[in-house]
Structure 1
Amino acid sequence: MVAVHKKDDRWQNWELAITGQIPAKEPVRLDFEKLNALATTIVKTQEPHHTSNPKAIFSFRAIPVAKLLDQLGVKSDVKEVTFVSYDAYRATVTLEDLKRYPIAIALERNGKPLSRSEGGPLYLIFPYTDYPELQIKYPDRFWAFYVTNIVVGTEQIKLRVGDSASVGQKSSGKSDQPSRTLDINTLDKLQQVTIEEPVGYPIGWPIGKVKLQGVRLRDAIAASGVALPEGSVVVVRGKPPVYRDPLNPSRLAAKDLRDCDILLATRWGNDRQPIPAHMGGPLTLALPASCQARDDKQRWMTFVEEIEVIDSP
C-alpha cells in the first residue's frame, strides 16, 4: 500500500483545473489535498531532465491521468488531452495513449515533494523504463513542469468581457453591470479580419508566416456593450496563471486598440480551421506587425478567456 504523505504547505493554494469536453459544465477543480489523496500509484522510471545521471531510476508517487479521466468522464469524440503549465507551456497526449500507458501526474520523487526546480508541485511524467517506445513518441519536451490545467479535447469559446466592476467583482455579486460572455456564434457575426504573420506563440505552431482569422479586440469589446474610454487600458487574461498575474497583467492601451487591428484569433491556416487546444485554442491573441513596434511577442497569448476594460483614474 502506498503511503500518502501530509500535504506540503508550500503548495496549499495550488490546484488542478480540468475543463473541456467533459460532462461537467463548470471546471472541475482539485485542490492539493484532493490530489495528494489520489496519488497512490508508484511509477518507477528514468527521468530525461535529470541530466547528471540519465540512467538513474526514480520512484514517483503519482496520479495516472487515465484514473482522473475515468472519474470525470470524457465525451466520445475526444482524441487528445492537453496539459497546461503555470507558465503557459503545454503538452498534448492522445487519449488512446493515456488509456494504454500509466502516464501520470507526479507529486513526489523518491519520497520527497517535487520542488519548482524539479517540475513540481505537479509534474507530467512518462514511464520510459517500462515502455521505451514512449521515449520516441513523447520525448523530454512532453514532460510538463508545474501543471495547472488539463484540457480534454478542445473547449468551446466562452470569452468574458466587462469593465473593472463587472469582471473584478463577479464572484462577490456586487456589480450592477454584469460582464457578458461571447461565444463563437457571436464572434462570427462580427467583421472577420485575416492577418498573415510569423506567430509569437512559443510552441506548437508552424515556423514562418501563418494565416490567422478572427475579430478585432476592439470590436469584441464593443459587441459586449462595454465602453472603451480615452486613456483606458484593456487587460487580457488567459487560462495559465502566468496570464492572470495581478502584479504583471497583460495590458493594452485603448489607443493601441484603435490604431492597430489587434486580433482575437478563432481560426488558422488557409482552410480556416478552428484553433485546437494543442495549439493554445480555441481563442488566442495576435498582434499584426504594425502593432509590434510597441508590443513585443510576449503579448501573443494562448487560451484567452477574459477581457477587462479599466478606466483611467
Structure 2
Amino acid sequence: MRNIRTFSVLLPKAQNSLLSILMITAVGLGGCTDQPSDEQLEVWRAEAIARNEKIMADNAKNTQPKEWNLVIQGETSTGKTETLNWQQLQSIATTNLKTADPNYILQPDQVFDFRGIPVSTLLKKYGYQPNVTEVTFMAYNSYQVTVDLYDLLKYPIILAIANDGKPISRAQGGPIYLVFPHSQYPHLQQQYPESFWIFYVSNIVVGTEPARLKVGKQELNLADLEKLPQITVTETVGYRSGWPSGKVPLHGVRLRDILTVNAPDLLSKEIVVQGKTTTYQNNLNSVILTANDIKKCDIFLATKWGDEKKNIPARMGGPLTLAFGSDCQTKTNGLRWVNFVEELVIKP
C-alpha cells in the first residue's frame, strides 16, 4: 500500500462519529418517542470529546519522535542489525537540502528546506557487501521502496526529520521522510517520482537479509527450511511491491510442515505471522492463522520464485513471504500476504 497522510483528517471526524453513535444508541435505548434533554446531550457530547481526546493522546504517545527508531540491517559490512534512536538521529541530522516536494500538490513548485541525514553517510558508516546493488526503505505501515545503491552514494538523498526549521509532522510524512533532490537534479524526478518519497521510515534493508525464521525456541535458516517437504504454487502475489503482474511460480514450505518438525505444540494454537514492521505486530493488523487453517490449507512461506527458483530479494518483500493458494485464501477470509516474515508466535 502507499503511505497515506490521513491522520490529521480522520481524527477530527472520529469525534463527530463517536458523538453520533452515542446519541443514536441512547435514543434507541430510550425508545422511539423519548427525546434526550439538552442536559443529557451535553453529557454525551462531553463524554464523546473526552474519549476522542484519549484516542488522539494514545495515538500521539505511540508515535512520538522520542520513541522513533531507525533500524539498519541486511548485507552491511558486519551483517549485524543496527538501531539508531531518536536522540542519535537528531545528532547526525545536520545536512540541509532545498527542494520541491512532489507530494505537496497545492504548490508543487514550492521549495522547502529539509534537514536530515544523507543516506550515503549511513551507508559509508555501516558499509555494504560487494554484491549489493540496491537498498530498500520501509515505513512502519509496511510500505516499501527500493533505490539503487549507486544513486544513494552519488546524490544527496536524505532521511529528513525537519522541514523549514520544524519537525516533520505525521500529517506531512514524519518523523522520518525520504527526500530526493528533485530541484537540484531534475532528471531524478522520472526515476524516483513522488511514490518513492516514503513516509514514516522505520527500516533500511541493505541488499537482502539472509532468511531467518523464529519458531518457538528455534531459529531456522534457508537451509533448514529447504530440508522440509517443498511446495510449488502458481499464484498472483497478494501484494504488489516489485513483483511481475499476473501469476508466478512460488516455491516454499507449508507452515504445518515447519511446525510439525520444529514446534509441534504450536500446531494446536492460533499463530500470528509477524513481518518486519509494526504493522504486523499489533492486534489491529496482525495476520492470525487458526490451527485448522494451518492443518488443512496450503499456507506456506515462499522462499524462491519463478521457473528458475530465484531467491526473493528485499525489493519483492523477501527473503520470506507468507503465501496462500487460491482455494486456501478463500477459506481464510482473504487474509493478507505478509512480506519480510520473521517469526511465528502464539497469539497473545
Which residue of structure 1 lines up, in the alignment, with residue 49 of structure 2? Answer: none
- 1:77 equivalent in alignment to 2:131: yes
- TM-score by length of structure 1 reads 0.88
State the AA in 1 paired with 2:161: L
Distance 2:207 2:252 in 1: 21
Which residue of structure 2 lines up, in the alignment, with residue 44 of structure 1? Answer: 98
Q: For 1:141, what is the secondary structure of its paired residue?
A: helix
Once the two structures are TM-superposed, the CA of residue 240 in structure 1 deviates from its matched residue by 1.2
Identity %: 46
Asked if structure 1 preserves the Cα contact closer than 8 Å seen for 2:161 and 2:174, the reply is yes
Distance 1:229 1:215 in 2: 15
Which residue of structure 2 lines up, in the alignment, with residue 272 of structure 1? Answer: 309
Which residue of structure 2 lines up, in the alignment, with residue 142 of structure 1? Answer: 196
- 1:262 equivalent in alignment to 2:299: yes
State the AA in 2 paired with 1:220: I
Distance 2:209 2:89 in 1: 23
In the TM superposition, 1:162-173 aligns within 5 A as 162=216
The farther-off stretch of 295-304 and 131-140 is 295-304
Give runs of ≥4 in structure 1 deviating > 6 Å.
Answer: none
Query: Greater share of helix residues, 1 or 2?
Result: 2
Count of residues paired in the alignment? 286
- 1:117 equivalent in alignment to 2:155: no
Query: Greater share of strand residues, 1 or 2?
Result: 1
- List alignment gaps of at least 5 residues for structure 1: 1-8, 163-178
State the AA in 1 paired with 2:105: T
Q: For 2:266, what is the secondary structure of its paired residue?
A: coil
Which residue of structure 1 lines up, in the alignment, with residue 252 of structure 2? Answer: 214
- 1:301 equivalent in alignment to 2:338: yes
Once the two structures are TM-superposed, the CA of residue 210 in structure 1 deviates from its matched residue by 1.5
Q: 1:66 to 1:281 in 2, by over 3 A?
A: same
State the AA in 1 paired with 2:186: P
Q: Greater RCO between the two (CA within 8 Å, min separation 6)?
A: 1
- TM-score by length of structure 2 reads 0.79
Q: Which string of whole-angstrom CA distances, capped at 9 and with x for unpartnered residues, describes residues 135-163 of structure 1?
A: 0111111111101000000000110001x
Once the two structures are TM-superposed, the CA of residue 247 in structure 1 deviates from its matched residue by 4.9
Asked if structure 2 preserves the Cα contact closer than 8 Å seen for 1:213 and 1:267, the reply is yes
Q: For 2:199, what is the secondary structure of its paired residue?
A: coil
Select 1:157's aligned residue among 211, 225, 230: 211
Q: 1:241 to 1:58 in 2, by over 3 A?
A: same
Q: Which string of whole-angstrom CA distances, capped at 9 and with x for unpartnered residues, describes residues 279-301 of structure 1?
A: 01000000111111243555200
Q: For 2:249, what is the secondary structure of its paired residue?
A: strand
Q: For 1:42, what is the secondary structure of its paired residue?
A: strand
Asked if structure 1 preserves the Cα contact closer than 8 Å seen for 2:251 and 2:303, the reply is yes
Distance 2:64 2:332 in 1: 35
Asked if structure 2 preserves the Cα contact closer than 8 Å seen for 1:200 and 1:298, the reply is no
- List alignment gaps of at least 5 residues for structure 2: 1-62
Asked if structure 2 preserves the Cα contact closer than 8 Å seen for 1:194 and 1:214, the reply is yes
Which residue of structure 1 lines up, in the alignment, with residue 26 of structure 2? Answer: none
Which residue of structure 1 lines up, in the alignment, with residue 69 of structure 2? Answer: 15
Q: Which string of whole-angstrom CA distances, capped at 9 and with x for unpartnered residues, describes residues 91-128 of structure 1?
A: 11111111110011000111111111211111111000
Once the two structures are TM-superposed, the CA of residue 205 in structure 1 deviates from its matched residue by 1.4
